[in-house]
A and B are shown apart, each in its own frame.
Chain A
Amino acid sequence: MVTLGDYLMVSGLLFTIGFAGVMLRRNIIIIFMSLELMLNSANLSLVAFSRFRVQPGGLPNYHAQVFVFFIITVAAAEVALGLAIIVALFRARQTTHVEDISTLKF
């Protein structure tokens, strides 16, 4: 049978993949996609806990799913804003490579 630990481990692996993408890739759009992967792995562990903590009526704990709903909404707003910033950056610098954007670098 599939246990809670399996879901948590898959979620942790997905988060690690996203984390490695943020650390290793230099294309700002790929970094942004990796951020989405990390947000979604957090959603997966929240839903797994929601299913695990069954309420006395035999229903899953829906508070966690409402939280996931909020996270998805915030992530959608974040994607729209982030991509607008990337477009503005590309207009100013003609690059999406983070090593070419180092004005604020100490």
Chain B
Amino acid sequence: MPPFLFWIFAAMMLVFGMGVIVNRNPIASALSLVLSFVGLSALFLSLNAYFIGVIQVLVYAGAVMVLFLFIIMLLDLRAEERRKINLVAFVGGSAVALAFFVQIYHVVSALGASRQTFPPLRPGTADDVHSIGLLLFGNYNLPFQIIGVLVLVATIGVIVLSKRELR
């Protein structure tokens, strides 16, 4: 992938990611989140992770976002009215987030590998679904089954939580 595409998709992901936390309307936030995840999925494709990129679009832009939009519309949330901003909390939160980013910046700059480009792959290798499937059903068979049980438990939990009265 040419370098300018990386910058375009990274900028798209970050700008719409900012849109998620800046928008006051929850529906606009959810739609920004979809576009942010589409940019992220393009970055996965640029890293030759085709399977993960497709899964990202299917699971997040498809299933998770439909769930978010459905809940927002079910609860009938409007754009929230402007409340008085707690200035101390706002400044404190921004300062903690900024300090966090400065920390990440220093760690990544100190990492020697971070200035290297990606080594070339063997040409003609696009069968990553095959390799991931072999690992998933071979080395990681037990975690895979545990995650199946986890999804089942989550499904049952959602049904129990959605009952009209909890007891």
Please report A residues at the B interface, Cβ cutoff 8 Å.
Answer: 1-10, 12-21, 23-27, 29-30, 33-34, 36-37, 40, 43-44, 47-48, 50-52, 54, 57-60, 62-63, 65-66, 68-70, 72-81, 83-88, 90, 96-97
Contact = CB atoms under 8 A, between A and B. Distances in A.
A69 B136 contact: yes
A54 B131 CA distance: 14
Contact of B47 (A21, A48, A73, A77): A48
A18 B26 CA distance: 15
B161 A85 contact: yes
A5 B108 contact: yes
B101 A13 contact: yes
A86 B51 CA distance: 32
A69 B143 CA distance: 11
A21 B132 CA distance: 33
A21 B118 CA distance: 32
Range for the number of chain B residues in contact with chain A? 35 or more
B20 A63 contact: no
Contacts of B97: 16, 19-20, 23-24
A33 B162 contact: no
B59 A72 contact: yes
Label chain B's interface by main secondary structure: helix
23 contacts: A1-B117, A2-B6, A4-B115, A4-B116, A8-B104, A8-B114, A10-B13, A17-B21, A23-B97, A29-B68, A36-B33, A43-B40, A60-B49, A65-B128, A66-B132, A66-B140, A69-B136, A73-B147, A77-B154, A83-B68, A84-B158, A84-B162, A96-B75
Contacts of B88: none
Contacts of A70: 140, 143, 147
Contact of B158 (A13, A21, A68, A81): A81
A15 B98 CA distance: 11
A2 B100 CA distance: 24
